[in-house]
Amino acid sequence: MIKRYWQFIRQKKRWALGVLIVVIGIGYGVWTKRFSQEESTDFFSTEYEVQTGEISTSLSLAGTTKFANAQKLTFVQQGKVTSVKVKVGDQVKKGQVLASISTDKLDTTLERNKRDLNAKKRAYEKKLKDADSGLDLLKAQAEYDQKLLEQTLLPQKQTSETETAQIAVENAKQNLKDQEKALKDLQDDYAIMYGTGKNAQNSDLGLSKTAIERNQKFEAYVREFKIQALSLQSILDGYDRVMQETKKFLNPEDYTHVYIGADDQILRGKSVSQFYELQKQVEVLEDLYAQYSKIPVASLTEGKILEGYQVFKTIGDQLSQWGTLNYNMVMKSVPSGKVDKTAIAGYAKTLGTDIESEGYALKNKYMTTVAKLKEDMNSDSGSDQESMQTKINKAKIALQDSKLKLQNAQEELMSLKTKQQIAKLTAESDLKTAKNKLDDLMDKVEISEELQAAKDALESAQEEIKTTLKQYEDYQIIANFDGLVTKVEMQVGDSISSSNNSSSTEKYIYVETPNLLQVTLDVDQIDIVKISVGMPVQVVLDALSDQTFTGVISEIDTMSESSSYKASVVFQKHSDDQKVLGGMSASVKVTLEQATDAIIVPSPAIADNVNGEKIVRLKKGDQRVDQVVEIGISDDANTQILSGLKVGDVIKGLYINDISMQNAGIGVSADGSAAIPAAGGPGGPVIQRD
């Protein structure tokens, strides 16, 4: 409906302009009457000050997005897949080989063609020997054949060289990414381990596996203080329990105490004294545990652990000595009904030899732990701050080395391409020289029918070799454009058969350009003549209405489909992770003409004079005069002034004169008013002239 309305307006321009002027006039009259006491800044105010601005004309169209380049690549020939050189997510270059299938049959054909070529070559050489200047011809022919063979095999050789060089570049890129990640992981670990002021738990940190394992090891070192404190307290409690219990047993005859070690009070006193010394070591262990627990685990070092672990050597020595002392003391006990010889032997073990063994075991554990800590201190295990910094420095060096290797690989690829181009030109030149030399000699020799037939057969065999070599491309999948691999539906060992086009068995590689999208537009015949390839456009997607994409018109069909033409627009996403997909609805604004910093005036301020010129009503002092102007672009509200006015001039915001009325098909009444007749008769709205 709207489209038919605008077509009607275009066909009835004069009538429509008249109606528009009348409506504007009525609106102006109502506006000035209603708001005569208020200052108006509308374009239709009495005066308008000329200014500069931006003006453009545009065309609004609609379409649907799709990827500008998207292709499902399959094999032309049948065979078994022998190599798949890409995976999902790989960037590929135009001409890059993505996959290959077996070429057994083609290899057999090529070998047969080579044998046939050699046979034809020998037959031709035999004919040459019989001709005059046969030796020179043979040499020239051999040189030409060699140059022809080199040129024939050159593309296949260069393709292989390029593929090897491209793989080297991709490997260098991947190695660079790995080195960047390794350095970042080390720097992140270092920042967390040595840059934090709190003892964060491993579960709270984004640490690497190496850092987590290191922290867990140091946490175990700290827990050892608590474990040994509990173990030592358990030993002391057992001793005290025995000593307190046996103190109760008295000899009823002479009231002599029958407690452990009753026959040697000096040994007993030393044992009890050592008990109290070891009780102090429990407090030392608990204090060390509390102290080390307050230190962020990431800030602990082997040296710091070694400082605290000295206490284990001291406790181990004291325990082993105390165990020996206790054994001697228990053996000086007085047997009684409650504490017989069997019980005394048991106490000698639990309070003596067992405690002595515990002391030696603690010393051995201490020595083993110290040796491991010292080994870690001297190794580059990343377990302390200094070695972590060393690893970061090494990672930086490795990163620079990776960058250099990538640069070298890229330069070698560029150099190879240059050398290949030179080699191609050289091969063409050498072949041409050899051909000219051979032709010169052939011109001097009377060529028999047999010699000509042998020559034709040789050339035919050479062409057959070229054709066979060209067919190798059909056994490969080659990228047709630079893009991203988004799907790989094949693997080595798959069979490619004539039924490969079946949706259930099809083997293919899907390549697309996810950052470059296209919008297909339907343009009617009135608007199609306004646009051209290369015009800038603005694209807004319904799904991302808050974003505007810039693009250009890339293609315009010259044949219409039904009542419209097809045109295409291409644009790029703002970022790789932006969710712009195929099939999205898009609004496209085509900029037809544009001017910036242009002198603009309201379009209703422009009228016509008797000479067909455009004029405005310019204020000069206390008077108004007609000023001829040259106009440029016009949009819905404003018109560009190319000449005749300058910034700051004051004109009428609405100017309607007799000529404009007549041009619009509007009559002028005798009383000086203008009217457009109503349909089928006189009358209608009236506009008072200036």
User: What is the assigned CATH class of domain 65-72+511-591?
Assistant: mainly beta
- What is residue 16's three-state secondary structure? helix
- Enter the tokens of residue 405: 């290797």
Q: pLDDT at position 105, please?
A: 83
- Answer whether residue 337 shows pLDDT above 80: no
Q: Where are the domains of the chain?
A: 2-57+596-688, 65-72+511-591, 208-392
The pLDDT confidence band at residue 640, using thresholds 50, 70 and 90, is very high
Q: Is 143 exposed, middle or buried (0-12, 13-18, 19+ CB in 10 A)?
A: middle
Write the DSSP assignment of 156-220 as a string of letters. HHHHHHHHHHHHHHHHHHHHHHHHHHHHHHHHHHHHHHHH-SS---GGGS---HHHHHHHHHHHH
283-287, 432-436, 661-665: lowest mean pLDDT where? 661-665
Residue 521 in contact with residue 554, Cβ under 8 Å? no
Q: Alpha carbon 679 to chain centroid distance?
A: 66
Q: Which two tokens stand for residue 300?
A: 């602990």
Rg of the chain taking only CA atoms, in angstroms: 49
Helix (H) or strand (E) holding 534: none
Weakest-pLDDT range from 202-206, 336-340, 528-532: 202-206
CA angle 372, 374, 379 (to 5 degrees): 95
Number of H helices, E strands in the chain: 13, 23
pLDDT tens column, 236-279 = 888 888 887 766 554 545 444 556 777 788 888 888 899 999 88
Per-residue pLDDT band for 539 (boundaries 50, 70, 90) equals very high
Tokens encoding 374: 């010292």
687: pLDDT confidence band, cut at 50, 70 and 90?
A: very low
Is a pLDDT exceeding 60 seen at residue 434? yes
**Which tens digit of pLDDT belongs to each residue from 99-141?**
888 888 888 888 888 888 888 888 877 776 766 556 676 777 7
31 or 537, higher pLDDT: 537
How far is it, in rounded angstroms, from Cα 402 to Cα 396?
10
Q: What is the pLDDT of residue 639?
A: 92
More confidently predicted of 89 and 548:
548
What pTM did the predictor assign? Answer: 0.40
**pLDDT at residue number 630:** 92
- Say whether pLDDT at 682 is over 50: no
Closest among 469, 418, 430, 458 to 157, alpha carbons compared: 469
The most confident of 23-27, 536-540, 634-638, by mean pLDDT: 536-540
CATH topology of domain 2-57+596-688: 2.40.420
Q: Do β-strands 70-73 and 564-572 pair in parallel, antiparallel, or remain unpaired?
A: unpaired
Residue 295 has pLDDT above 70, yes or no: yes
The mean per-residue pLDDT over the stretch 470-487 comes to: 83
Q: How many other C-beta atoms are found inside a 10 Å radius of the C-beta of residue 368?
A: 10
Are 81 and 492 in contact by the 8 Å Cβ rule? The answer is: yes
CA–CA gap between residue 186 and residue 176 (Å, rounded): 15
